[in-house]
Structure 1
Amino acid sequence: MARTLYVGNLPWATKAEDLADAFSAHGEVLSSRVITDRETGRSRGFGFVEVRDEDADIMIAAMNGTEFNGRIITVNEAKPREER
């Protein structure tokens, strides 16, 4: 089983690999992605990390409110996407 974590306030230059590297110190990362603007391709400053269910709470506690490449990041469990 997997859970998805929301990661906010990311530096603009953050890549998916950077997120995976940072979170893998606290458990197994299944996937990671940084959300980009469709038109410009520029980062929107947030992303998602998919992790094993048993590692999620540990990662949230370890990473929320910490400094990541010069910015204090927000980490919590992602909410389901709302229907349009």
Structure 2
Amino acid sequence: MSIYIGNLSYEATQEEITQVFAEYGTVKRVQLPTDRETGRPRGFGFVEMSTDAEEEAAIEALDGAEWMGRDLKVNKAKPREDRSSGGSWGGNRGGGGGNFSRRY
């Protein structure tokens, strides 16, 4: 399980986030996704801690806390959705069969 951190400052580093979360237990990993085109931080991240109890303590303490001029959104990370199935332009196209040249 991991923790989602939203509304992060774009200047926040992995080391700074590790220090903040280390107050609540052992930080196993910090991940800060970057934009593919610009390489800049995307304003959110993920933290993995050693135990569920440590994660719960960090979420309880840090959700809504002000850090680096922003109010953090901290909660349990949701599993990544499978983007290849259903919906939009790939995967299961439903009744249309992918014929996009129809005129309406």
Task: Give 1 or 2: higher helix fraction.
Answer: 1
Instruction: Give the residue type in structure 1 aligned to 2:5.
Output: V
Higher RCO, 1 vs 2 (CA within 8 Å, ≥6 residues apart): 1
Task: Please give the alpha-carbon distance, in whole angstroms, between the structure 1 residues aligned to 2:32 and 2:14.
Answer: 5
Q: Which residue of 1 aligns with 2:74?
A: 75
Matched length: 82
Using structure 2 for the length normalisation, give the TM-score: 0.75
Instruction: Give the residue type in structure 1 aligned to 2:20.
Output: A
Task: Please give the alpha-carbon distance, in whole angstroms, between the structure 2 residues aligned to 1:17 and 1:83.
Answer: 30
Task: Please give the alpha-carbon distance, in whole angstroms, between the structure 2 residues aligned to 1:18 and 1:29.
Answer: 12
Q: Which residue of 2 aligns with 1:58?
A: 57
Q: Which residue of 1 aligns with 2:20?
A: 22
Q: 3-state DSSP class of the match of 1:35?
A: coil
Q: 3-state DSSP class of the match of 1:81?
A: coil
CA RMSD of aligned residues (A): 0.8
> After the TM superposition, which parts of structure 1 deviate over 4 Å for at least 4 consecutive aligned residues?
none
Task: Please give the alpha-carbon distance, in whole angstroms, between the structure 1 residues aligned to 2:72 and 2:32.
Answer: 13
Q: Which residue of 2 aligns with 1:33?
A: 31
Asked which structure has the greater CA Rg, the reply is: 2
Task: Please give the alpha-carbon distance, in whole angstroms, between the structure 1 residues aligned to 2:74 and 2:67.
Answer: 11
Using structure 1 for the length normalisation, give the TM-score: 0.92
Q: 3-state DSSP class of the match of 1:44?
A: coil
Q: Deviations over 1:36-74 (max 9, x none)?
A: 101101111000000122211111001100011111100
**Same amino acid, percent of matched pairs:** 45
Instruction: Give the residue type in structure 1 aligned to 2:44.
Output: F
Q: Deviations over 1:10-39 (max 9, x none)?
A: 001111111111110111111101111011
Unaligned runs of 5+ in 2: 84-104
